Amino acid sequence: MYFLSTRGNNEKITASQAIIKGLSSDRGLFVPSEFKNLKSELKNLVNLDYKELAYVILKEFLTDYSEKELKYCINSAYDENFDTEKIAPISKVGDDYVLELYHGPTCAFKDMALTIMPYLLKTAIEKNNLKEEVVILTATSGDTGKAALEGFKDVDKIKIVVFFPENGVSNIQKLQMKTTGGDNTCVVGIKGNFDDAQTGVKNIFADNNFNKDLKEKGYILSSANSINIGRLTPQVVYYFYSYLQLVKQNEIALGDEINFVVPTGNFGNILAGYYAKQMGLPVNKFICASNDNNVLYDFFETGIYNKNRELKLTTSPSMDILISSNLERLLFEISNRDSKKVNSLLNDLNEKGVYEIDYDMRKNLSSFYAGYSKEDVVSKTIKEVFDKFGYLLDTHTAVAYSCYEKYVEDTKDDTKTVIVSTASPYKFSKDVINSIQSIDCNLDDFEIINKLSDLSKTKIPGPIEKLKELEIRHNITCEKDELKSEILKFLGK
Ligand SMILES: *Cc1c(COP(=O)(O)O)cnc(C)c1O
């Protein structure tokens, strides 16, 4: 077992090296050389808790980590950081199941991987005798930044710098980032939009002189974004976990196929589900749910990926994305691992902003169904589900829920279905409450949060409740061409 690039440069590296590198030197993504099939072992896994199961799954990917190392990483991540021992609990809502991936320290699904990735990286640094300190650079539109900051704060030999668009994230998201503790963290608001932040960071990664200069000063740059296998592989775990929980609770029989509905942006979450299926998890369909930015919907419908369109800002900002990076890994699998094809498609994307897959590749997409939800439907869905079941969906999960309703209408499929929930409704309180009732527009964020709690009779998550009392520790802003100097300032160089 080793990792190779989707673009076929014959690089073969270990998991720990892939976690340090992030991206292959040919700009491709690292993929596992094979998938271990666990189908015949599923019956032995039903009674495992989240951590035990995480070990069983992760050891098939991260094969150069020792049992001790891997268990150390798992145990350090999935502990009291989460507000439930189940880590990823399931709620029954009507006849369906909602897999809640928002019980971690920042109340969004990014925590499922970003709580463990820092430990995986730290272990990788030690294993590979890296002399330099690692500086994690992250551009964020909100959720990733805070989850990465929480995960990496106070981790030895690692520093983290997060750039966010000063006027492009929610107040709660901004407050979450600016109040982060730890001596190794740096948070910078950029006078620009998310694209400016993202492009700025990408340019820094590609800037050989800057990287050389940093290396001489004892630092190497790395990234915590969702193309790193240190983020992808931990996400495979909860697909198995939710399936096995349903078996344990006698909701399904071992071997039954189920559906997963996934609110999708960068295609990392749903791809981890697809990897779980490659490993023998019985899945009927993956329903890929998009918001108004329906690039993926068009792709699954027509075989054409076309990013030449305007990015729309929606109430589900973590899915406002036009280039779903992890789709490259799916292209690799559906072309039967033909890196020539992948290269040619990604070149088209680069040069023309569009590519089209061939008939053979399309045939291999049969386990996917795609949908998208417009803003009024998202809002209506939040209200309907709350009125009917007393269950609060956040805006991203509501996108998934309404796509699933349309799927059932279209196909009459009555397979048991898990809707993957990616954020606490409290993270998007204003849009959630506005969907249910009209409120006084003068209320501040914390008044809205209290109101949401009264209305839904649910508890405000600890990390959000606490925000009010935390002091602002980061107040740096910079122009969009000043990222490098901010990094150097932070490193004291
Ligand atoms: C990141 C995120 C998504 C999208 O996940 P991908 O892995 O990028 O497809 C969906 N919902 C929320 C709340 C997120 O933070």
Q: What is the pTM assigned to this prediction?
A: 0.95
Write down the pLDDT at residue 377. 98
Amino acid (1-letter code) at residue 487: I
Report the pLDDT value the prediction gives residue 183, as an integer from 0 to 100: 93
Place of tokens 């839904």: 456
CB 106 within 8 A of CB 176: yes
Q: Which two tokens stand for residue 465?
A: 């409740």
Q: How far does residue 223's CA lie from ligand 1's centre (Å)? A: 17
- Using DSSP's 3-state secondary structure scheme, residue 12 falls into coil
CA of 142, closest atom in ligand 1 = 15
Residue 184 dihedral angles phi and psi, to the nearest 5°:
-105, 15
> Nearest-CA neighbor of 356 among 378, 366, 341, 373?
341
Q: Is the pLDDT of residue 193 over 90?
A: no
Query: Does ligand 1 have an atom closer than 6 angstroms to the CB of 286?
Result: no
Which tens digits make up the pLDDT trace of 442-466? 889 999 999 999 999 999 999 999 9
User: pLDDT digits over 181-192, tens only?
Assistant: 999 999 999 998
Q: Is the CB of 231 under 6 A from ligand 1?
A: no
Establish if 343 belongs to a structural domain: yes
More confident residue, 170 or 146: 146
For residues 281 and 236, give the distance between their C-alpha atoms in angstroms, rounded to a whole number. Answer: 10
Total residues belonging to the chain: 493
Average pLDDT, integer, range 77-90: 96
The protein residue with its alpha carbon nearest to ligand 1, atom 1, reads 318
Interstrand relation of 417-421 and 258-263 (parallel, antiparallel or unpaired): parallel
In a domain, 14, yes or no: no
How far, CA to CA in Å, does 482 sit from each of 136, 206, 398? 17, 16, 38
The span from the CA of 380 to the CA of 431, in Å, is: 11
Inside any domain, residue 191: no
Q: Tell me what the mean pLDDT of segment 216-243 comes to.
A: 94
Question: What is the sign of the dihedral through the CA atoms of 425, 233, 237 and 403?
Answer: positive
End-to-end CA distance of the chain: 40
Dihedrals phi, psi of 145, to nearest 5 degrees: -55, -50
At residue 172, the pLDDT reads 86
Q: Which residue lies with its CA nearest to atom 8 of ligand 1?
A: 266
Tokens 């992250």 belong to: 138
320 C-beta closer than 6 A to ligand 1: no
In a domain, 275, yes or no: yes
Cβ neighbours for 359, distance < 8 A, ≥ 6 positions apart: none
Question: Domain span at residue 428?
Answer: 90-106+230-460
Question: From ligand 1's centre to the CA of 316, what distance in Å?
Answer: 9
Digit-coded pLDDT (tens) for 334-391: 999 999 999 999 999 999 999 999 999 999 999 999 999 999 999 999 999 999 999 9
pLDDT over 90 at 168, yes or no? no
Instruction: Decide if 160 contacts 152 (C-beta within 8 A).
Output: yes
CA distance 395 to 382: 7
Our answer on whether the CB atom of 422 is closer than 6 Å to any ligand 1 atom is yes
Residue 309 has pLDDT above 80, yes or no: yes
**The pLDDT value given to residue 442:** 86
pLDDT bracket for residue 30 (50, 70, 90):
very high
170 ligand 1 Cβ < 6 A: no
Q: What is the mean pLDDT of the chain?
A: 95
pLDDT at position 194 is 80
d(CA 402, CA 374): 9
- Tell me the CA distances in angstroms from 46 to 24, 247, 275, 488, one per residue in order: 36, 7, 19, 50
| pLDDT at res. 205 | 85
- Residue 147 falls inside a structural domain: no
Question: Taking residues 242-256, what's their average pLDDT?
Answer: 98
Predicted confidence (pLDDT) per residue in 261-276, tens digit: 999 999 999 999 999 9
Q: What is the pLDDT of residue 448?
A: 94
Place of tokens 């992030």: 22
- Report the SS3 class of residue 477: strand
Q: Is the CB of 109 under 6 A from ligand 1?
A: yes
CATH number at residue 290: 3.40.50.1100
Higher pLDDT, residue 258 or 439: 258
Q: Residue 40 domain-assigned?
A: no
Quickly state the pLDDT bin for 108 (edges 50, 70, 90). Answer: very high
Segment 84-108 mean pLDDT: 97
pLDDT of the residue at 421:
98
pLDDT at 394: 97
pLDDT for 493 equals 77
Alpha carbon separation from 428 to 107, 357, 436 (Å, rounded): 11, 36, 13
Cβ of 146 closer than 6 Å to ligand 1, yes or no, is: no
Measured CA to CA, the distance from residue 141 to residue 167 in angstroms comes to 10
319 lines ligand 1 (CB under 6 A): yes
Distance, CA 306 to ligand 1 centroid (Å)? 20
Q: What is the mean pLDDT of residues 42-61?
A: 98
* DSSP designation for 353: S
Burial class (CB in 10 A: 0-12, 13-18, 19+), 25: exposed
| H or E stretch at 76 | helix 67-77
Q: Say what percent of the chain tops pLDDT 90.
A: 86
Which pLDDT score, from 0 to 100, does residue 167 have? 83
Q: Is 57 inside a domain boundary? A: no
DSSP classification of residue 31: E
Number of domains in the chain: 1
In-domain check, residue 429: yes
Q: What is the pLDDT of residue 315?
A: 93
Torsion angle of the four alpha carbons 145, 323, 103, 51, in this order, in degrees rounded to the nearest 10: -100
* Ligand 1 centroid – CA 424 distance (Å): 12
- 5 DSSP β-pair partners: 30
321 pLDDT band, cuts 50/70/90, is confident
Which of these, 262, 186, 275, lies nearest to 229 by C-alpha position? 275
Is 143 close to ligand 1, i.e. is its CB under 6 Å away? yes
**String of DSSP letters for 212-246:** HHHHHTTEEEEE-STTSHHHHHHHHHHHHHHHHHH
In this predicted structure, the answer to whether residue 142 has a pLDDT above a threshold of 80 is: no
CB of 293 sitting under 6 A from ligand 1:
no
* Whether pLDDT at 254 is above 90: yes
Q: Does ligand 1 lie within 6 Å of residue 110's CB atom?
A: yes
Q: Where are the beta strands (DSSP E) in 397-475?
A: 417-421
Helix 327-334 crosses helix 339-352 at what angle (to 10 degrees)? Answer: 140
Instruction: Please give the pLDDT value at position 265.
Output: 92
- Predicted pLDDT of residue 113: 97
